[in-house]
Amino acid sequence: MRIGELSKDTGIPVPTIKYYLREGLLPAGERTHANQVSYTAEHARRLRLIRAMVQVGDLPIGTVRTMLAEIDSAERPTDSMLGRLSGALVAPRSHGPHADEDEVAETAALLRRHGYTRTDSVHVQMIADVLAMLRRLGRPELAAIVDDYADLALRMAETDLATLTALEDRDNLAESMIIGSVLGEALFAALRRAAHATVSGRVFPEDKFDTSPPS
């Protein structure tokens, strides 16, 4: 198909498609005549994937490029690939005051108690950083939530991996991992907010604080 059809098929404007071509996110089409380039269903598929990563995952173009390279090079999806993908998803953002060595070691020990086995990663540093920030905000009681969250995250990871291993289409396992990771995160964030609305309706009925003395 020509670029106009590709645009119609995917709902992505032609200038955006050209931008992705220039950035190397989308392979060039096949030149069939002097002034005509032809694209395939594979191009449409790749475009929808790019769109999901950019729009829903809010990922920068550089990260999208890294992930697509992983997909294209992956013959055998392995543990280490999942690790690389997950690493690429972590925005290199400063989390402000960093946890010190003791705080990171304590966090790793806490995770091991909850059944985590890989406790030397960048993620553990991030967890320790957030906990340190809660303490520095004078809110150690909010940091206590980490115990429940650690169990919930492990159950969620088991659900994610069970879904991946049940897929019949093993050729696209790397793509499935990325889609699952990016869209799964957006899905869960929206669900969590809907759940907050439900639970807060139970916990804070509208006039609950009406009878309290003014503070």
Q: How many whole angstroms separate alpha carbon 5 and alpha carbon 36?
A: 13
Task: Give the burial string for 123-135 (b: 16+ CB within 10 Å, else e).
Answer: bbbbbbbebbbbe
Is there binding between residue 90 and its own copies (CB under 8 A)?
A: yes
Is there binding between residue 106 and its own copies (CB under 8 A)?
A: no
**Of residues 109 and 156, the one with the C-beta less far from its own copies:** 156
Is there binding between residue 69 and its own copies (CB under 8 A)?
A: no
Is there binding between residue 15 and its own copies (CB under 8 A)?
A: no
- How many other CB atoms are there within 10 angstroms of residue 102's CB atom? 9
| Site stretch for its own copies (CB under 8 A), options 1-9, 13-21, 65-73, 124-132 | 124-132
Least Å distance, CB 108 to its own copies, is 10
Least Å distance, CB 33 to its own copies, is 30
Query: What residues contact 65, with CB distance under 8 A and at least 6 apart?
Result: 23, 24, 25
Helices then strands, counting H and E runs in the chain, come out as 10, 2
Per-residue x/- marks for its own copies, 17-56, CB under 8 A?
A: ----------------------------x--xx-xx--xx
**Of residues 3 and 130, the one with the C-beta less far from its own copies:** 130
**Of residues 2 and 170, the one with the C-beta less far from its own copies:** 170
Least Å distance, CB 2 to its own copies, is 21
Q: How many whole angstroms separate alpha carbon 193 and alpha carbon 199?
A: 10
The amino acid present at 40, given as its one-letter code, is: T
